[in-house]
Amino acid sequence: MQNAAVSDEQPFGAAFSRARLIQYSVAVVALVLVAAPLVPIMYQAVLDKPIYDGQAILTLDNFSRLFSNPKFYEAFKNSVVLSAVTTVIAGIIGVSTAVFIGRTNIPGKKFFGEVVLWPMYVSHLVLAFGWFMMYGPSGYVTLLVEGWIGGKPWDLYTMAGMAVVAGAAQAPLVHLFCASSVARADASLEDAARTVGAGPFTVLRRVTVPLLRPAITYSAMLNFIGCLEMLSVPLILGTPVGKDFFTTFLYTQGYSGSNPDYGLIGAAACFLLVMISILIYLQTKLLKKAGRFVTVKGKATRPKIFDLGRYRWAVSITLAIYFGLTLFVTVGGLGLRAFTTFLTPLLAPWELLTFDNFALIFEYDAYQRSITNSLLVAGIGAAVAVAFVSLITVIIHRSGFRFRRALEYVALYPRAVPGIVAGIGFFWGMLLFPFMGPLHGTIWILILAFTMRTIPTAFGAISPALMQLSQDLDQSSRTVGADWWTTQRKIILPLLRPALFGAYVLLFLSFLKEYASAAFLFAPGSEIIGTTMLQFWVNGDSGPVAALAVIQIILTITFVVFARKLLGVKAYG
């Protein structure tokens, strides 16, 4: 529990202090930013005509049309089933990697520990393209295996296929939660099991993994929600065979022909928002109770490493095969495809080598611009977002602002807003609110949308560091004569520098990856890598798609290395 922060009210006469002015401004901007996409969606959901049509009147007809639409039920069912299966697959993979890499003596665990997190750096769209090009119906590996066994080995365009792809993409999240929990577990609980006669595998199965329950439940909730709002896998692997999901329903309705059904989209987006809001609410409740499962003592004990004996090689080889098939083959396949005119097992790739895919991208302004735009959006946008969220965070935790609790709710709410819904909402916002109009076709609307989506992420990265700073540091600054704003600017924010830097890295990467909310917002001049990839994919040009994916991966790697170097030189007292 935090002490009530120092109040910043102005005495005797002065109506508005500098502190209040800043606090109210930031709060109002935050509220407008979060409401900007939500209000148009809710408004459109109850309008009988498009939002820009002055003749529109209020109606509940959209919802009755939505609920009587068989395609919607199909999408609902598919989304829930896919999310459930994906969550289970991601859970099994993530827990296994966390336990085997974190707690056993398998060979190569250091390498696996690095590799396991790589999918988090890459856009799900890129991962889905990789799977599509390698394991899709006419994928390189599929055709190769088909040649050996003489029949179709698998079908990626099924629920099972999609769940494997999405599960592999989401597993790192489970790993991350469980690995930190595994590393801090109380070793004496396992020692006790050993002394009563349990072997290493039994201890892992009966003690170590059950103790991960809170981490597993929490990451499972995150993954379930994340999969419900995922656009990439359903779009790339589901739409070719006519399978509809929540997100693809919205996407195809929005892009269908010249006359999209605004009311229906509004109602569907509204429904998705409400559903995810409820799930987030449940998840928050769950997290509050998680404290009862605490197995960690204040003292850090070094967790013991299990000796798996002769099984250590078997586990290690299994992991190597898993990462090989899901990561190296898919990403390697993208690389191969980027440098060839065509990819087929019938011809050796070196006979088809070409730079045409890259040449195409660098020849056309629009394609080239999508790369520079992506870098601008990530580079500038992430900085703007971090600056803004750092203000939100200090207001929430370190001010006497009257509405700081409410501000915290506003700041955390975007967790419940799927990317595609945010995209539609901001798009309609530009139609509805005149002041947003000039943003159309600029990268600023993308920065706004991405910022809105990542407020919770940045808040989550900054606020633990802020809570660790003693209130005495602000209070002493106030008593020596600094007002609230000077205190934040000269004392608190400088002390938060490492956390702000960490948040910037996080946001840069997610801005670089983001595509779903941009799908409705980009216009000629404001393309980004993700939207251009989608365009090429719609036209069936997988060569340029692969080339752009490779470029995005290279940019990501460069930035991550650069950030690590910077973190390395971080001199901090």
Partner 1 sequence: MGKLIIDNLCKHFGDVKAVDNVSITVEDGEFLTLLGPSGCGKSTTLFAVAGLDRPTSGRILVDDVVFYDGGQQAMMPPEKRNCGLVFQSYALWPHMTVRDNLAFPLEIRKIGKSEQQKRITDALGLVEMENYQGRYPHELSGGQQQRVALARTLVYEPRLMLLDEPLSNLDAKLRIRARRWLKELQGRLGLTTIYVTHDQIEALTLSDRIAVMEGGKLVQLGTPEEIYSRPVSPFVADFIGASNFIDGFAGDDDGDTVNITLAEDVSIRAKARPGVKKGEAVRVAVRPENIRLVNGSGVPGGSNALTASIRDRDYLGARFQYILDVCGTELRMEAEQNLEGSQVDISFTPEDCIAFPA
Positions of E strands within 41-129: none
Element holding 477 (H helix, E strand):
helix 471-479
**Using rule CB under 8 A, residue 498 touches partner 1:** no
Q: Quickly list DSSP for 494-551.
A: HHTHHHHHHHHHHHHHHHHH--TTTTTT--TT---HHHHHHHHHHTT-HHHHHHHHHH
Name the one residue in this structure whose structure tokens are 């990856």: 513
Query: Alpha-carbon distance 449 to 34, whole Å?
Result: 9
In this chain, which of 480, 524, 568, 569 binds partner 1, going by CB under 8 A?
A: 480
- CA distances 220 to 160, 224, 484, Å, are 18, 6, 41
Smallest distance, partner 1 to C-beta of residue 17, A: 8
Should residue 12 be labelled a site residue for partner 1 when binding is judged by CB under 8 A?
Answer: yes
The phi, psi pair for 64, rounded to 5°, reads: -65, -35
Report the residue from 158, 442, 457, 475 that binds partner 1 according to the rule CB under 8 A: 475
> According to the binding rule CB under 8 A, does residue 569 interact with partner 1?
no
Residue 494 touching partner 1 (CB under 8 A): yes
Nearest distance, CB of residue 476 and partner 1, angstroms: 4
Contact criterion met (CB below 8 Å) for 473 and 491: yes
CB atoms within 10 A of CB 138: 12
Nearer to partner 1, 403 or 485 (CB): 485
Asked whether position 486 contacts partner 1 by CB under 8 A, the answer is yes
Find the part of the chain contacting partner 1 (CB under 8 A) among 11-19, 53-61, 241-249, 516-524: 11-19
Q: In the set 197, 242, 524, 573, which binds partner 1 (CB under 8 A)?
A: 573
User: Measured between alpha carbons, how far is 255 from 157 in angstroms, rounded to an integer?
Assistant: 22
Q: How far is the CB of 63 from partner 1 (least distance, A)?
A: 45
In 241-367 the beta strands, taken as DSSP E runs, fall at none
**Is residue 15 involved in binding partner 1 (CB under 8 A)?**
no
Could you say which of 117, 207, 465, 495 contacts partner 1 (CB under 8 A)? 495
Q: Could you tell me which stretch among 9-17, 178-186, 383-391, 426-434 binds partner 1 (CB under 8 A)?
A: 9-17
Residue 340 bridge partners (DSSP): 353
Q: Which stretch binds partner 1 (CB under 8 A): 93-101, 149-157, 273-281, 477-485?
A: 477-485
Candidate ranges 369-377, 407-415, 480-488, 527-535; the one touching partner 1 (CB under 8 A)? 480-488
491 belongs to the binding site for partner 1 (CB under 8 A)? yes
Beta-bridge partner residues of 419: none
Cβ(273)–Cβ(264) below 8 Å: no
Tokens representing residue 526 in the block: 């404001």
Q: Is 49 in the site for partner 1 (CB under 8 A)?
A: no
CA distance linking residue 90 with residue 227, whole number of Å: 11
Q: From the DSSP assignment, how many helices (H) and strands (E) are in the chain?
A: 29, 0
Rule CB under 8 A: is residue 54 a binding residue for partner 1? no
Give the shortest CB-466-to-partner 1 separation in angstroms.
14
Q: How far is the CB of 9 from partner 1 (least distance, A)?
A: 6
Q: At 32, phi and psi to the nearest 5?
A: -65, -40
- The contact mask relative to partner 1 for 145-174 (x = CB under 8 A, - = no) is ------------------------------
In the complex, least distance from residue 572 CB atom to partner 1, rounded to whole angstroms: 8
Shortest separation between residue 13's beta carbon and partner 1, angstroms: 10
For 152, the token pair is 């179709």
Q: How far is the CB of 474 from partner 1 (least distance, A)?
A: 9
Cβ atoms of 109 and 313 closer than 8 Å:
no
Instruction: Tell me the backbone φ, ψ of residue 353, rounded to 5 degrees.
Output: -60, 140
Among 71, 490, 564, 570, binds partner 1 (CB under 8 A): 490
In the bound state with partner 1, the residue whose beta carbon lies nearer, of 10 and 59, is 10
Is 476 a binding residue for partner 1 by CB under 8 A? The answer is yes
- Residue 481 is a binding residue for partner 1 (CB under 8 A): yes
Contact pattern from residue 445 through residue 474 relative to partner 1, giving x for each residue in contact according to CB under 8 A and a dash for the rest:
-------------------------x-xx-
The answer to the question of residue 24 lying near partner 1 (CB under 8 A) is no
The DSSP letter of residue 441 is T
158 vs 164: CA distance, rounded Å:
10
Q: How many CB atoms lie within 10 A of CB 485?
A: 17
What number of chain residues touch partner 1 (CB under 8 A)?
27
At 139, list the tokens. Answer: 């994928």
| 324 versus 494: smaller Cβ distance to partner 1 | 494
Task: Find where tokens 């530009």 sit.
Answer: 430
Closer Cβ to partner 1, 421 or 492, answer by number: 492
428, 496 contact by CB (below 8 A) = no
Question: Where on the chain is the footprint of partner 1 (CB under 8 A)?
Answer: 6-12, 17, 470, 472-473, 475-483, 486, 490-491, 494-495, 572-573
